[in-house]
Structures are given as C-alpha cells and as structure tokens.
Amino acid sequence: MLTLKQLRKDMQFNQELVGLIDVLKGIASAHFRHLQAKREYFIRFSRCLASFFKMVNLIKSKHLFLMPRPSLPSGIVMITSDEGFLGGLNSQVINTALSQRRTNDSLIILGERGARLLEDQKESFLYFPGITEDIEYTQAQGLRDYLVHQYLNKRLGRVIMVYPKFVSFALQEVKSEQLLPYIREQDLGTPLQLKPRVSP
C-alpha cells in the first residue's frame, strides 16, 4: 500500500505532467496556425490561376500543357512526411497512389520515410528529399524541372500529385490532383477524382 507521502508525490508529478502537456499543445497549436498563415499565399495564387484559365478554352487549346495524352505513362508524385507519428498517413498516401497506377507509370516520392515504405514493397521509384517547414524554392524548382522535362519530351503524358491535405489540427485527408495537363473541374462536370486504371 502506498504511503500518504508517496501519494502526494505521485499527485504532484501528475499535475506537473498535465501542465507540461498543456504547454506543448499550446506550442503545437500556435505553430500550426503559423503554417496555415504561410499557406494563404499559395491558396491565393491557385485562385488567381483558376480565374485566368476561365478565359481559356482548354478543350480546344493545342498547348502541350493543356492537351491530354492518355497513351503515355503517368508520373505519380507522392508527398510524404519525415515527421514522427505520421507513418499511417504516409501509408495512406502511398496506397492511394499505387491504387491509381498503371503498369508503365512512374513513381516519384518526396520524403525519406515514404521511400522506405516503397522499398519494403519492392517498388521502383525516383526519390526527392522531403519537404521541410521552410520550403526552399530551389527544391521545388528541381522537382518542377524534372517533371516538365519528362512531360515535354513525351516520357510522361500526365502528372498526378498525391498528398496529405491538413483539414484541421487533428484531421488530414489524402488528396489527388492532376498537375499536367492542366484541367478545370468544370470541364470534367464533376470534381477531379482519379480512379484506378487497369492496363490492357
């Protein structure tokens, strides 16, 4: 049986632990709000881009970035996190990407932990370093240059990105978006939903 002294000591420890957890939750929440504020710039840019393309007839356009080329392989870019406790989310990203892959499609992954998961599944892929808190333009530029080069040289007919979208501090969902060729949701009639395709 615990003595009164030991009970008081345990209670004090528990109170201090609860206080520490509350402090950590506050720090995490403030950090999350800071990252959300930084994301606003990219959201505004996406809206401006969509507004510009409202003036363009994408279906009749002959530009390579707007023309579908379904006979060519797709490049599927997976964005995974190297942060702790996100292994389940990384697995969801990879499983979503693999469910959409055709036999000749290329897999491109960002993030060391995601790359390890693909290695465990004996998959072939191209690796790029993961995204850190401070996104470096040169890193994004390297991925962009590779994808555009492959697309313009007809090694890829489509570029798809699969990534975790943070809906809230406690909720994330895996999203798929087609980057190339650019396509608007209203041209599809329904929001873009990429479904698995079985190669002949």
**pLDDT at residue 192, as a whole number:** 42
- Residue 136 near residue 102, CB atoms below 8 Å: no
pLDDT at 49 over 90: no
Q: Are 115 and 109 in contact (CB under 8 A)?
A: yes
**Structure-block tokens of residue 129:** 């370093």
Residue range 148-156: mean pLDDT, rounded = 94
Per-residue burial over 37-69, b = 16 or more CB atoms within 10 Å of its CB, e = otherwise: eeeeeeeeeeeeeeeebeeeebeeeeeeebeee
| Bridge partner residues of 161 (DSSP) | 77, 177
% the chain with pLDDT above 90: 36
In the chain, % of residues over pLDDT 70: 80
**What's the Rg (C-alpha) of the chain?**
22
How sure is the predictor about 126, in pLDDT bands with cuts at 50, 70 and 90?
very high
**What pLDDT, in 10s, does the model give residues 81-124?**
887 767 788 899 999 999 999 889 999 999 999 999 999 999 99
Stronger pLDDT, 58 or 49, i.e. the higher one: 49
User: Are 118 and 94 a contacting pair, CB within 8 Å?
Assistant: yes
Name the DSSP letter for residue 157. S
pLDDT for residue 115: 94
> Is the Cβ–Cβ distance between 121 and 35 less than 8 Å?
no
pTM of the model: 0.69
User: pLDDT band at 189, cuts 50/70/90?
Assistant: very low
- Report residue 58's pLDDT band, with 50, 70 and 90 as the boundaries: low
Residue 184 has pLDDT above 60, yes or no: yes
